Structure 1
């Protein structure tokens, strides 16, 4: 009986998710994360200490 209940819950959840995605404005999480990572890199670059152009690996 547990298998049927789990399968039924999965089907109902999938159906509701498809309906919501088609009929409501749902944000694109992948694009949102990509934008936030770009902003974080900009902030990191603006607060980075100026160096002499040499990295620790290239002595």
Structure 2
């Protein structure tokens, strides 16, 4: 019963999403995602711990 119910909800959501995307002015999400990834990368580079793996001088 759970598989049929979840499949029905997924298909219904997909159909509603298609209808809304075709009939309303929905903004593109790719620009928002790219901006979020750039900000996350900036924070990671800024707050990353310095690595302690220095090459050792061995004879």
Q: TM-score range by the shorter chain?
A: 0.5 to 0.7
- 1:8 maps to what in 2? 8
RMSD (Å) for aligned C-alpha atoms: 1.9
Residues paired across the two proteins, number:
37
Length-normalised TM-score, structure 1: 0.52
Superposition misfits of 4+ residues, deviation over 6 angstroms = none
Structure 1 unaligned residues grouped into runs of 5+: 41-59
Distance 1:33 1:5 in 2: 31
Distance 2:28 2:10 in 1: 22
What are the superposed Cα offsets for residues 9-56 of structure 1, whole Å, 9 maximum, x if unpaired? 00000000000000000001113455x58xx8xxxxxxxxxxxxxxxx
C-alpha distance 31-6 of structure 1, shift in aligned 2 (>3 A): same
